[in-house]
Structure formats: C-alpha cells, structure tokens
Structure 1
Amino acid sequence: MVEYLDTSVGHRLAYHKTDGDGPGIVFLGGFMSDMSGTKAVFLEDWAKKQGRAFLRFDYTGHGQSSGRFEDGCIGDWTEDALEALSKLTSGPQILVGSSMGGWIALLLARSVPKRVHALIGIAAAPDFTEDSMWPGLSDAQRAEILEQGQTSVPNAYDDTPYILTRRLFEDGKMQLVLRTALNLPFPVRLMQGTDDEAVETSVPLRLLDHATCPDMRLTLVKDADHRFSTPDCLAMITSAIAETSR
C-alpha cells in the first residue's frame, strides 16, 4: 500500500516502507524513473524475505509523488531523499543508488555521513548534467534552453520525452561531487555494465580514483546495459547488500 510523506517545503512523496532489522536499505531511483521499477521491487521482495527494513519512494515530479518533473532538479530531489531518510528511517542505512540515484546517494553521504552504513552505486551517474547531458545536446538545444528555459529530448525507455530545463543545469553545477574532496568513510560497491548506453565506464573509474574511501570496489559486467536488471545483475546487487551489511 502506498503511503505519503509531506515534506517541509510542501512536497508530497509517495513511498513504500517495509519494517525489519537493520541496517535498513534505501533505494534511490534514477532520472524520470519511479519506485515501481524492476530493481526497486525486486530488492523490496528480497528484503522482506531477509527480514530487513527497506524503503523505496518517488522524488517530486516522479511516479506517484506530487509536482511536475520539469519543475525539479538534482538539489530538489536530494532534499526529498534527505527528508525520506530523516523521517522514514532510523540509524545508518545502506543507500542503493541507481543512475541519478547514485549521484543523490553521494550527496547524502557528503551531507549526513553518519546516516550511511554503506553505499551501492548501480551505473551511478554523478555530475551527469554537467559532464554528459549538456555536452550531448546540440547547439540548437542548448540555445533553446538558454533562451526559452527548456528543451525536450527523446526518452530511450518510453514514449514520454525528457524535459530539460535551464534550472536543471544551473542547479546541477551546484551539486557536483567530482570536483572537490569526497570522503566516503564506509563500504562502497560500484557496479557498471560495459554496454551501458547512458553512463560510460569512465564515470565509475573516475569516482573510484577521486573518492577517499577505506573499502571501495568497482565491478564491471561485460554486456550488461544501463538497466542492470538481469537475474545475474540483481543477484550481484543483493550480494553486495549482504556483504556490506556486516
């Protein structure tokens, strides 16, 4: 059953929460995705079988939460995640961040490291608005964003196009994590498919090189794509959760 959290800035976040033992698991979804995706639902089922606490939720403008997607930005969605973490969980959590969720997990880890037991990044995409999305636009699209405030681009996963706004890119510049010191004082596991069409393998390698972390590992999976949702890939995620739960 879907529940709702009213945030301090008037957002209404839809979520599913499973009570259980800790450390709890918080799933952080990707750009324009929602909490009903394959990985989120699979991990919730796994957590229930393990008797583990689990939380999945929709950012503002995503899924069943309030607001419009095009009104949001990385900073807004990170604030959503921080309120969900603060109000719906207790104690250190294992953050499982998929794509953009990996960036948000790193922002949470930077701001509230004591609430993080471990971090698992699945095709994590830190700084993507600045490093891949903006450079990947045409001159005409960039001009449209600067002059009109937004542009639309095709969505590879469904028929709803992405609306990219000037605010998204301006805010993204203020949320970068790969330009300054990034201390991750807990276990970190990164997983990346070599056939990922959205995040290049150079991204997790850069993160691996940049962050200060006593226990950080990267697994590259040949032929896996951005969804990272095959049975073998899902098993890798649960193995990483089990390993870092100790």
Structure 2
Amino acid sequence: MPEQAMTEYLETAQGRRIAYARQPGAGPGVVFLGGFKSDMRGTKAEHLADWAAANGRAYLRLDYSGHGESGGAFEDGAIGDWAEDAMAAITGLTAGPQVLVGSSMGGWIALLVAREMPARVAGLVGIAAAPDFTENGFWSGFTEEQRATLMDAGRVALPSEYDDAPYVITRRLIEDGRNRLVLDRPLALPFPVRLLQGTADADVPVDWAMRLLDHPESPDLRLTLVKGADHRFSTPDCLSLIETAITEVLRGRT
C-alpha cells in the first residue's frame, strides 16, 4: 500500500483555508469530491488514492471548509461555498481536464463545477449523487414546525445515523442551495458520465438517480443500479465498480 499523501493547505480567494492531499501522476487526473459532513480520509477517498497510485494517475482530494482538516465551522458553510472550494482546488492544484468523482453531495458539487468550468472537466462519476438535496431532501421533508424553526431561529437540528452529533441545518444552507440548483434548468455535460446508485440507499432514493439520468444532455451517460447497496457504497464490489466507472470515463474520453 502506498504511503498516505500528506495534508497540505490552500488559501482561497474567499479567505478560506482548505485542506487537500495530492498525488502526482498522468492526466487526466482524478478529483474526489466528498459528501455532506464527510472528509477526504474516508473509505472511498482512500481506496481511490491506492488505485491512482497503482495506475500512475494524478489524484486530488480535499476537505471543503468546515469539513475534516479544513478551517471554518461546518454550520457557517453552504453549497456555494463548498463549490467555490472545489473550483479553487481544481484551478490551483491541477493541470488540464480532470475526472470528477462526486459522492453524494459531491455529485452536486461536481455538477456545479462542470457548469461553471466545463473546459476543466474530462468526465464525471457520480456515486449516489445528490444534486439539489437541500431542497428536494431537507426542505421538502421538513414538518411545518421545522420550517418555522428554521426561518425564525436560522437553524434546525436533525439526527444523524452516521454521527452521534446531530446535523445542524441552517437557513443559509437552504436558501443558498436554492440558488445552486442544477435540475431546474438545462444541464450540458459534454463528456462521459457514469452514475452509480444502490437500491438500498436510505438517503438518496433511486428516483433521484433516474431523474439525474434523464435530465442532462450528454453524449455518453449511463446509470448502474446495485441491488442492496446502501448510501456508503463502500463494499469491495462497490469500490470495484467505482474503479470500473473511472476507467470507462477515461477510455471514453480518448
């Protein structure tokens, strides 16, 4: 197993201190974009670090502000901030087009990056991609009491099955998310796209994946459904499918 990449830091134009780990290799490089409240040392990110090293592929992963080893408080952040963090890292730390691998919220971030800087995207792999989830997941699932609390107090706490601490959802997160929606307007993805989705995912429903399959304009977009896979998508078989998806995107680009 290769030695773990050292954490480095990038100061963004917005004044945020972003932690990242970078491995040299051939291009197009691979950029891993993690999920909501996750970090760059998770199972999928680490597995892809090993895969990239074994294949001589350049690889970048990062913690958005308020996540992992980056500066800032999680509750202060929003989708637009985290997309800016990703774009700053891609612009400043990579060369040429990159294959974006977005997990859960990272799938939304990847789509925002693709919309804003398509020339820097060679392809996209979405793992339980969750575009627009602040609106279609959180807001639509809130009770009237939760909505009132959010608007009046500016935040509401939700239980998390992944952490002992609750998720604090802020009014800013919801309102900023409405300004970053990608499924409410045309979405051009002029490169190979692979979407991976588990049927037992309790956080991202299969019909979200179907909507994402149908919505964009792309010359090569495919969805793979894995029966019984959950939101983590981190079993050995699922990790192998992620490798295959990246390989297909790289092959399709050439």
Above 0.5 in TM-score?
Answer: yes
Q: Which amino acid aligns with 2:147?
A: R
Pairing 1:225–2:230 present? yes
Deviation at residue 138 of structure 1 after TM alignment: 2.1
Equivalent of residue 172 in structure 1, options 162, 174, 177 = 177
Pairing 1:101–2:98 present? no
The Cα offsets for residues 92-142 of structure 1, whole Å up to 9 and x where unpaired, read as: 000000000000000011111110000000000000011111111222211
The Cα offsets for residues 180-236 of structure 1, whole Å up to 9 and x where unpaired, read as: 000000000000000000000011111111110110000000000000000000000
Equivalent of residue 118 in structure 1, options 123, 137, 147 = 123
Pairing 1:65–2:80 present? no
For 2:16 and 2:170, the matched residues in 1 are separated by 20
Counterparts of 1:68-87 in structure 2, within 5 Å, are: 68-87=73-92
Q: Per the alignment, in what secondary structure is the counterpart of residue 15 of structure 2?
A: coil
Q: Which amino acid aligns with 2:180?
A: Q
Equivalent of residue 161 in structure 2, options 138, 156, 177 = 156
Deviation at residue 156 of structure 1 after TM alignment: 1.0
Q: Per the alignment, in what secondary structure is the counterpart of residue 33 of structure 1?
A: coil
The Cα offsets for residues 155-185 of structure 1, whole Å up to 9 and x where unpaired, read as: 1101121110000000000000001000000
What is the root-mean-square deviation in Å for CA atoms of aligned residues? 0.6
For 2:50 and 2:104, the matched residues in 1 are separated by 21
Most deviating of 21-30 and 154-163: 154-163
Equivalent of residue 207 in structure 2, options 202, 214, 219 = 202
Q: Per the alignment, in what secondary structure is the counterpart of residue 25 of structure 1?
A: strand
Q: Per the alignment, in what secondary structure is the counterpart of residue 27 of structure 1?
A: strand
Structure 1: runs of 5+ lacking an equivalent: none
For 1:99 and 1:148, the matched residues in 2 are separated by 27
Q: Per the alignment, in what secondary structure is the counterpart of residue 245 of structure 1?
A: helix
Most deviating of 39-48 and 134-143: 134-143
Aligned equivalent of 2:218: 213
Pairing 1:89–2:94 present? yes
Aligned equivalent of 2:28: 23
Structure 2: runs of 5+ lacking an equivalent: 1-5
For 1:185 and 1:164, the matched residues in 2 are separated by 34
Pairing 1:243–2:248 present? yes
For 2:166 and 2:50, the matched residues in 1 are separated by 30
Deviation at residue 245 of structure 1 after TM alignment: 1.1
